[in-house]
Amino acid sequence: MKKKLTILALSALIILPLAVFAQNRAGQDNACQRISNALERIGQKTQQEEEKIRYRQEGISQDMDQKRIQREQNLEQKREQWDNNRAERFQKLLDRAQDETQKKAVLDFIASVEEAVLERREKFDEAIRIFHEGTDNLKARRREEAENRIQNYKEKEADAFEEALSDCGKGSDMKDIQQNLRNTLTQARQTYRERIQTMNHGQEMQGLAEAKRGAMESARDEFHNSLREALDKLRVGFPVEETEIL
């Protein structure tokens, strides 16, 4: 009888730890599965955030393109109006010419003004082209920077979960695994936010706008100088007021 009790006791000493280990293993496996589930949930949230950023950037880009198109249309309308007004004033000057000498003076004046107008428009168009080229480059850079920052965060996120799952599979303490995972993700998010905040190209955009404005002002001053020179030549043999031209 004692022998049977001894055998039963020994069996219990062997089976009990195995049962406890099986329970712990099952608990560890469940914890690992929870980490996998968390990876899926967070991955979905990251994907949604990525889509929001892309949508916002596309909206900004489309808004800028629409405003550009509107400005170009307005400029073309104004130029057409200026051309019509200028043609009317030129015709009035020609109608006032009393002889061939005055008519030639007016025609020379018209040719000089038209040349000055063409030069001003070419310089305006070049300034606008350079500005648009610069803004397009800024948009492309911003888009690339955003993609890089998102990709970098996704890689850090994936690495953090991969390490957590690896430690979980090795049977490491779950509290340590969860804390390490939480710390790594928090740091990754903080780094991501800081890098997103640095994507501010306002000063560069301002520089492009100032360069465009400066080029246009210079072209406008040159045009007015050319116009006054042509007007001074016309006045030699043809009386005309500046208000009739400008």
Let me know if residue 146 belongs to a domain: yes
Q: What is the pLDDT of residue 243?
A: 64
pTM of the model: 0.73
Let me know if residue 188 belongs to a domain: yes
Under the banding of pLDDT at 50, 70 and 90, the label for residue 25 is very low
Total domains, the chain: 1
Let me know if residue 124 belongs to a domain: yes
Let me know if residue 13 belongs to a domain: no
Stretch 28-57: mean pLDDT, rounded? 81
DSSP state of 238: S
Instruction: Give the separation between CA 35 and CA 177, rounded to whole angstroms.
Output: 10
Contact 28, 174 (CB under 8 A): yes
**Across the chain, what does the average pLDDT equal?**
83
Domain extent at residue 201: 50-65+79-244
Cα atoms in the Cβ-side hemisphere of radius 13 Å centred on 229: 11
Higher pLDDT, residue 164 or 115: 115
Contact 32, 168 (CB under 8 A): yes
CA angle 85, 88, 93 (to 5 degrees): 130
Residue 107 has pLDDT above 80, yes or no: yes
Let me know if residue 24 belongs to a domain: no
Stretch 10-21: mean pLDDT, rounded? 32
Residue 58 has pLDDT above 90, yes or no: no
Let me know if residue 193 belongs to a domain: yes
Instruction: Give the separation between CA 125 and CA 76, rounded to whole angstroms.
Output: 11
Let me know if residue 130 belongs to a domain: yes
Let me know if residue 23 belongs to a domain: no
CA angle 140, 145, 147 (to 5 degrees): 95
Instruction: Give the separation between CA 240 and CA 94, rounded to whole angstroms.
Output: 12
